[in-house]
């Protein structure tokens, strides 16, 4: 069993490594090339004569040096802009930077990005361009026709040239994929990154709340999307009863080439780039020359340049707005950081909770271990080992101290018991620290005195029994020598006892 698991694991690991290797190889080798003939961007987006190089526009569209106003904020406007030449590459990525702005809370109708086999019209019925298209339409639909409160909406709709767009249902019956995103009246331009690579269509959307390049979000990803080859790019827009300005600022096309396909081009790449940059420089020179010529020919229109100059300076309101926006951007950044931190905290909390539940599952072990002492540390120390250790050492100290106190109290108790015992044996009620020897000595002394008295009485009876009883009276019969001797003996004993008592008292004081 173990062997089988190992084998399976090794197989999966190998597969995983191989897959990662291949995918990184793939990702690294995708060749990207900026296609300036399918792009426009400011400044000099439109030339003086109003044309946009490599593009043609019509309807109500207006091109300026800064943007293409595909449809202005007037009622029932339609406009479009299309590439002049068909594509000569299969896979691509478009960066579409645009603004949809209007005074109303609700706007209309919307903006469309097209990749179709043929160029569409400039005044069509689908967001300003032709219906029954052949190819891809990505619609930024502002107006909620079906009243389902799901607009503004972004959606991709494929058509083979036969279907009529379902406007009344906002295209919900036909859409390939989409997402609900508000793209109107944002502080910064909104952006869509549309990638079509190896039949996978991906749309990333930037909501224009910041100016950061990092804030793209996935809108949709659709696989097995087959689009006609050598089609045209286009952007169109339309207004209705309600009207927004529909401005496109950047349309940047990058062609994507899978690894291997660009192999032949690799060695000519340097030459190609040199040629293109030369072409670009020539083009710029020509443009400058044209501007100079224009100025010379129309000296009376130099005030126009002054107006242009005014664009370089911002008004107080604009400055204030800009500052507010940058402040908001900072707040947004802080919020994003906070969000990340919160995620971390939540993750940790979940981990802790799972650990606690583990401890609860092992509850029987814990209670058993607690009785034998010190065992639960194994389970708990995974949470806070140091604290548990500290508590344990504290407990040990307390236990030792308690043990010491107990022995001390035992000593005191035994001493007190001895004292009480001795006092019970003592003849008087005097409460003095007295040792056993002292008490026994007193009783011994008393016994000795009694013995002495008895001896005296015996010797007296012996003396009287010798026939001289009648000669002396009972009281005076004791001879003076014996009486004095007894007195001396008694005095010596009393003095000795006093000395002994003083000694004992001094010793006792020393001890306590
Ligand atoms: Ca609509
Ligand atoms: Ca709708």
**Quick one: 199 and 347 in the same domain?**
no
Cα(152) to ligand 1 centroid in Å equals: 8
Furthest CA-CA distance within the chain: 187
Cα(108) to ligand 1 centroid in Å equals: 8
Looking at residue 429, its pLDDT comes to 47
- 182 in any annotated domain: yes
* Structure-token pair, residue 272: 């190609």
Cα(140) to ligand 1 centroid in Å equals: 9
Cα(189) to ligand 2 centroid in Å equals: 23
- 364 in any annotated domain: no
DSSP state for residue 164 in the 8-state scheme: P
Cα(155) to ligand 1 centroid in Å equals: 11
- 62 in any annotated domain: yes
- 98 in any annotated domain: yes
Nearest listed ligand to the Cα of residue 109: 1
* Structure-token pair, residue 286: 């020509």
Distances (CA, A) of 136 to 109, 363, 375, 390, 454: 19, 63, 69, 69, 144
Q: Among 262, 375, 353, 361, which residue's Cα sits nearest to residue 32?
A: 262
Cα(151) to ligand 2 centroid in Å equals: 5
Nearest listed ligand to the Cα of residue 167: 1
Cα(216) to ligand 1 centroid in Å equals: 24
Nearest listed ligand to the Cα of residue 238: 1
Residue-range definition of the domain harbouring residue 442:
433-511
**Quick one: 305 and 322 in the same domain?**
no
Q: What is the C-alpha to C-alpha distance for residues 48 and 63, in angstroms, rounded to an integer?
A: 10
Cα(189) to ligand 1 centroid in Å equals: 21
DSSP letters along 290-344, please? HHHHHHHH-GGGHHHHHHHHHTTS--HHHHHHHHHHHHHHHHHHHHHHHHHHHHH
Cα(332) to ligand 2 centroid in Å equals: 29
**Quick one: 173 and 253 in the same domain?**
yes
**Quick one: 116 and 205 in the same domain?**
yes
**Quick one: 219 and 292 in the same domain?**
no
**Quick one: 81 and 130 in the same domain?**
yes
Residue with the two structure tokens 């010190």 = 374
Query: Which H or E run contains 252?
Result: strand 245-257
**Quick one: 68 and 208 in the same domain?**
yes
Cα(171) to ligand 1 centroid in Å equals: 8
Pairing mode, if any, of strands 78-83 and 232-238?
A: antiparallel
Cα(131) to ligand 1 centroid in Å equals: 14
Residues 6+ apart with CB under 8 A from 267: none
Cα(446) to ligand 1 centroid in Å equals: 130
Cα(148) to ligand 1 centroid in Å equals: 11
Looking at residue 179, its pLDDT comes to 96
**Quick one: 183 and 204 in the same domain?**
yes
Show the 3-state SS of 4-40.
Answer: HHHHHHHHHHHHHHHHHHHHHHHHHHCEEEECHHHCE
**Quick one: 306 and 452 in the same domain?**
no
Cα(373) to ligand 2 centroid in Å equals: 69
- Residue ending a domain, among 219, 243, 260, is 260
Cα(149) to ligand 1 centroid in Å equals: 11
- 1 in any annotated domain: no
- 43 in any annotated domain: yes
- 118 in any annotated domain: yes
Cα(144) to ligand 2 centroid in Å equals: 4
Nearest listed ligand to the Cα of residue 147: 2
Cα(177) to ligand 2 centroid in Å equals: 14
Cα(146) to ligand 2 centroid in Å equals: 5
Q: Angle 316-361/377-425 helices, nearest 10 degrees?
A: 60
Nearest listed ligand to the Cα of residue 168: 1
Cα(119) to ligand 2 centroid in Å equals: 27
- 109 in any annotated domain: yes
Cα(168) to ligand 2 centroid in Å equals: 9
pLDDT along the chain (512 residues), means of 10: 51 56 59 96 94 97 97 97 97 98 94 98 97 98 95 96 96 95 96 97 96 93 96 97 96 94 57 76 84 75 53 70 82 86 83 79 47 46 70 84 81 77 60 57 78 78 57 57 86 87 72 56
**Quick one: 62 and 153 in the same domain?**
yes
- Residue ending a domain, among 235, 260, 285, is 260
Q: What is the C-alpha to C-alpha distance for residues 345 and 349, in angstroms, rounded to an integer?
A: 6
First to last CA, the chain: 79
Residues with C-beta atoms within 5 A of ion ligand 2: 144, 146, 148, 150-151, 170
- Residue ending a domain, among 327, 356, 385, is 356
pTM for the complete prediction? Answer: 0.52
Looking at residue 467, its pLDDT comes to 47
Beta-ladder partners of 252: 95
**Quick one: 40 and 127 in the same domain?**
yes
**Quick one: 140 and 67 in the same domain?**
yes
Cα(169) to ligand 2 centroid in Å equals: 7
Identify whether the C-beta of residue 190 lies closer than 8 Å to the C-beta of residue 214: no
Please state the domain count of the chain.
4
């Amino acid at each position: 069993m173990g062997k089988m698991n190992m084998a399976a694991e090794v197989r999966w690991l190998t597969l995983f490594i191989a897959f990662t290797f291949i995918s990184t190889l793939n990702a690294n080798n995708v060749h990207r090339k900026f296609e300036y003939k399918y792009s426009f961007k400011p400044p000099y987006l439109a030339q003086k004569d109003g044309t946009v190089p490599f593009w043609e526009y019509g309807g109500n569209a207006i091109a300026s040096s800064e943007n293409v106003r595909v449809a202005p904020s007037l009622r029932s406007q339609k406009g479009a802009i299309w590439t002049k030449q068909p594509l000569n590459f299969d896979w691509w990525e478009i960066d579409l930077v645009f603004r949809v702005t209007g005074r109303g809370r609700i706007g209309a109708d919307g903006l469309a990005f097209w990749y179709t086999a043929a160029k569409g019209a400039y005044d069509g019925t689908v967001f300003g361009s032709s219906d029954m298209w052949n190819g891809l339409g990505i619609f930024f639909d502002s107006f909620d026709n079906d009243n389902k409160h799901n607009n503004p909406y972004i959606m991709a709709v494929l058509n083979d040239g036969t279907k009529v767009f379902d406007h009344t249902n906002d295209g919900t019956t036909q859409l390939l994929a989409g997402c609900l995103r508000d793209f109107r009246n944002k502080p910064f331009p909104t952006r869509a990154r549309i990638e079509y690579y190896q039949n996978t269509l991906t749309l990333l959307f930037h909501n224009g709340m910041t100016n950061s390049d990092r804030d793209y979000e996935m809108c949709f990803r659709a696989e097995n999307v087959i689009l006609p080859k050598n089609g045209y790019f286009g952007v169109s827009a339309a207004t209705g009863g309600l009207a927004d300005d529909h401005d496109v600022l950047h349309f940047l096309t990058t062609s994507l080439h899978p690894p291997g396909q660009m192999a032949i081009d690799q060695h000519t790449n340097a030459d190609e780039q040199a040629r293109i940059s030369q072409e670009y420089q020539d083009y710029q020179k020509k443009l400058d020359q044209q501007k100079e010529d224009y100025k010379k020919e129309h000296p009376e229109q130099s005030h126009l340049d002054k107006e242009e100059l005014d664009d370089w300076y911002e008004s107080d309101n604009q400055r204030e707005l800009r500052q507010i926006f940058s402040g908001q951007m900072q707040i947004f950044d802080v919020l994003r950081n906070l969000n990340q931190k919160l995620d971390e905290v939540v993750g940790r909390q979940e981990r802790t909770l799972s650990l606690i539940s583990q401890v609860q599952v092992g509850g029987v072990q814990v209670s058993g271990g607690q009785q034998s002492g010190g065992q639960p540390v194994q389970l708990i120390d995974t949470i806070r080992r140091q604290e548990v250790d500290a508590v344990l050492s504290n407990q040990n100290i307390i236990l030792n101290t308690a043990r010491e106190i107990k022995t001390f109290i035992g000593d005191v108790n035994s001493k007190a018991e001895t004292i009480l015992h001795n006092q019970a044996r003592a003849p008087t009620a005097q409460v003095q620290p007295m040792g056993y020897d002292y008490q026994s000595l007193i009783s011994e002394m008393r016994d000795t005195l009694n013995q002495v008295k008895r001896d005296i009485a015996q010797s007296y009876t012996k003396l009287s029994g010798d026939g001289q009883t009648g000669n002396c009276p009972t009281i005076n019969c004791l001879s003076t020598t014996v009486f004095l001797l007894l007195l001396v003996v008694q005095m010596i004993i009393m003095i000795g006892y006093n000395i002994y008592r003083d000694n004992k008292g001094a010793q006792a004081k020393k001890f306590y």
